[in-house]
Amino acid sequence: MPISDELILCPKCHWQPDGGAYWECECTNVWDTFSSFGKCPKCGKIHRYTQCIACKRTSPHHDWYVDPPVKLPSVSDAQEQTPQG
């Protein structure tokens, strides 16, 4: 389940995530990306883009939060990389 009460919808097709663990990180962890604002809870990689389960199109993760807008910190390319260690 998302960690907030924000309305979350695919920006392309308006599919609404149901809290299921559908997204897989490169580290093989599968989780609900909206439960952690796109940050993998296993390896810490921040995913700036999210693919819709329904329409299969990819959008910036922050574009999914629509009501009211969630203020997410900017993520640099360096932060997006999986932390080592």
Count of structural domains within the chain? 1
Query: Is 7 strand, coil or helix?
Result: strand
| Sign (positive or negative) of CA dihedral 21, 42, 79, 68 | positive
> What is the pTM (predicted TM-score) of this model?
0.74
Higher pLDDT, 58 or 78: 58
pLDDT at 2 over 50: no
Q: What is the pLDDT of residue 68?
A: 55
51: in domain: yes
Report the pLDDT averaged over residues 9-36: 97
Domain that holds residue 18: 7-68
DSSP 15-32: ----S---EE-TTS-EE-
